[in-house]
């Protein structure tokens, strides 16, 4: 499933690139700034283009918008997508995905999937952040199968969520989510395994560590 999904992302990226190449000025500062990088190769010139995409072997990075930045790190099967003014997306492990959709105006606003495997971070809001996985700067602190989500299509943004790493204590199979803004600033599930911290559509929260994955899913589904 991962291989098929990654192949579809590659086809999508190539399709976007082909369409853009047929549109004069589209990838320049006087048009819509964007960059696509596949296996370490940029598809468009960097001169006059404020969007930056940097990929490594076996990975895809796509950046749309003025100052947007998408990067991938070591490992394969990574997909990094930044869409918006100063949007920032970064990945650092195998089969990691980071998507930042929104406009950012300050520091620490991004989507990042850190060191570890199968981590997923998704932001759809302005001035927000989602971080999943282990320490992006320390390969000795991985976090696997972590998910961090901010979904705020009608809210005010400014939300932050962390899943997996907490200082020097990484976790696995953690889930942190802000589904709607609901005046939430920070939420997180980090520092142990099978943690979750969710703000539901009704504005309620729950945070617990389950002994087994089965208990974790049972408690999670009880929220909805």
- pLDDT tens for residues 37-78? 999 999 988 888 899 999 999 999 999 999 999 999 989 999
- Of 175 and 178, more confident: 175
Q: Is the pLDDT of residue 9 over 80?
A: no
- pLDDT tens for residues 122-173? 999 999 999 999 987 888 889 999 999 988 776 777 888 899 988 888 889 8
CB distance 70 to 89 below 8 Å: yes
Q: Is the pLDDT of residue 22 over 60?
A: no
Of 166, 160, 100, 86, which Cα lies nearest the Cα of 133? 166
Q: Tell me the three-class secondary structure of the chain, residue by residue.
A: CHHHHHHHHHHHHHHHHHHHHCCCCCCCCCCCCEEEEECCEECCCCCCCCCEEECCCCCEEEEECCCCEEECCCCCCCEEEEECCCCEEEECCCCCEEEEECCCCCCCCCEEECCCCCCEEEEECCCCEEEEECCCCCCCCCCCCCEEEEECCCCCCCCEEEEECECCECCCCCEEEECCCCCCCEEEEECCCCEEEEECCCCCEEEEECCCHHHHHHHHHCCC
Give me the pLDDT at residue 106, please.
86
- pLDDT tens for residues 64-113? 999 999 999 989 999 999 999 999 999 998 999 999 999 999 888 999 99
Q: Using 50, 70 and 90 to split pLDDT, how confident is the model at 185? A: low
Q: Using 50, 70 and 90 to split pLDDT, how confident is the model at 204? A: very low
Give me the pLDDT at residue 207, please.
52
User: What ranges do the domains of the chain cover?
Assistant: 2-221
What is the value of pTM for the model shown? 0.79
In Å, what is the CA distance from 217 to each residue of 73, 90, 126, 143, 175? 31, 28, 30, 19, 11
For residues 220 and 108, give the distance between their C-alpha atoms in angstroms, rounded to a whole number.
Answer: 28
């Amino acid at each position: 499933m991962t291989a098929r999904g990654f192949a579809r992302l590659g086809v999508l990226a190539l399709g976007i690139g082909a369409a853009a190449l047929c549109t004069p000025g589209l990838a320049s500062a006087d048009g819509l700034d964007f960059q696509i990088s596949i296996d370490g190769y940029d598809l468009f010139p960097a001169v006059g283009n404020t969007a930056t995409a940097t990929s490594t072997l076996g990975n895809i990075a796509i950046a749309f918008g003025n100052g947007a930045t998408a990067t991938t790190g070591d490992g394969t099967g990574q997909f990094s997508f930044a869409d918006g003014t100063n949007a920032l997306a970064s990945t650092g492990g195998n089969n990691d995905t980071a998507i930042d959709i929104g406009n950012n105006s300050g520091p620490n606003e991004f989507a990042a999937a850190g060191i570890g495997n199968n981590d997923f971070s998704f932001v759809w809001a302005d001035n927000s952040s989602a971080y999943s996985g282990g320490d992006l700067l320390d390969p000795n602190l991985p976090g696997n199968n972590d998910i961090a989500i901010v979904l705020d299509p009608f809210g005010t943004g400014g939300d932050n969520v962390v899943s997996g790493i907490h200082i020097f204590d990484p976790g696995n199979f953690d889930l942190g989510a802000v589904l709607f803004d609901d005046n939430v600033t920070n939420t997180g599930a980090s520092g142990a395994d099978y943690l979750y911290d969710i703000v539901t559509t009704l504005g309620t929260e729950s945070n617990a560590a389950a002994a087994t994955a089965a208990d974790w899913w049972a408690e999670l589904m009880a929220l909805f």
